[in-house]
Amino acid sequence: MRVTRGLWLAMVAACGGSDPGDPTDARVVDAASDGAPAPDASPNAFHYEVTILDINGALSPMHDQLIACARGGLDEWGTYLSGMGTLTVEIRVTSTATGRMAGASTSNVSVGPCAHTASCTVVEEQAIRRLRTGLDNPAMVGVPDVHIDVDPSYWNTQVWVDPDPQARTAPVPGDRLDCVSLFTHELGHAFGMVGFRDLTTFQPTVAFQSLYDDQIQVGTDTLTFNGPLTVGDFGPIPLTRTSATQNVYHYGDASTPGPIDTLLMNGIVYEYGHRYRVQKLDARIVEDLGVPVYRLPAQ
């Protein structure tokens, strides 16, 4: 679940329609209220579209399963988030750097000077922009807002497909990862837990920062997310800082065990046989990034 990002990703996505073998599969649905008319602004939940780009057809027989699992993750977030327009999500079947799954917004838009970081510009992830305004990135009209990359061997060997990704009541096998949980986690990155800080020094690496980056505080032996809504409920949130791949853009760290270590966006371990949910901490973090939240999880 490494965080990846880059404007080049949009180029791959933009090629989807012209690939041979009709690898693209699209469904339009409505988070939390399937089939209802799609108004411009949803008082609760949000509208989304899921497409698949599977150039080699590596998971062709499983496209319906992939879409159903992605919908489960979108609906999990849609229990708490609202938004305008239609969030467009592309599942890309492809090898990933970690051999697992990787999700992010496909682009971002400058929204002004950083509030907490010297001499930098802050950028808003396109998924946040979509839900907040309903608008495309003007530089990338028609490009999906979000990509979630799925490594085919990971899907085939590690992932359990929930037979009912809406009900989410069947037992998750003890030797598999729950597909809806995985999409929910990757969507958390798309909704803003992503950025440009160095994964070892935690310092800014470029002249711009994500909204999340700009609310991180680096101490001598601490690394915390200090968004005001999050801090109001939970205090500064310790972020992952001793992992080879998960630092900064996940919370919880093996060196400082705590109650958040088992939650959705933790960077310590993703458990087999476990169903992860969006919890209040996750909703507060994305709310601090500007994502519209109409209801908070109870805990």
Q: Which residues bind Zn ion (CB under 5 A)?
A: 1
- Number of neighbouring beta carbons within 10 Å of residue 226: 15
Pick 111 or 269: Cβ nearer Zn ion = 269
Pick 1 or 237: Cβ nearer Zn ion = 1
Q: Report, in Å, the least distance between residue 92 CB and Zn ion.
A: 16
Give the contacts of 119 (CB within 8 A, at least 6 positions apart).
207
Pick 230 or 246: Cβ nearer Zn ion = 246
DSSP state of 164: -
Q: Report, in Å, the least distance between residue 212 CB and Zn ion.
A: 13
Q: Report, in Å, the least distance between residue 34 CB and Zn ion.
A: 27
Sign of CA dihedral 20, 71, 296, 217: negative
Give the contacts of 254 (CB within 8 A, at least 6 positions apart).
242, 243, 268
Using CA atoms, how far apart are residues 96 and 154, in angstroms rounded to an integer?
Answer: 10
Q: Report, in Å, the least distance between residue 186 CB and Zn ion.
A: 7
Torsion of CA 178, 2, 59, 50, to 10 degrees: 80
Pick 1 or 84: Cβ nearer Zn ion = 1
Q: Report, in Å, the least distance between residue 185 CB and Zn ion.
A: 6
Single out the residue of 224, 206, 207 nearest to residue 215, CA to CA: 224
- Beta pairing partners, 206: none
Q: Tell me the backbone φ, ψ of residue 160, rounded to 5 degrees.
A: -105, 130
Pick 1 or 45: Cβ nearer Zn ion = 1
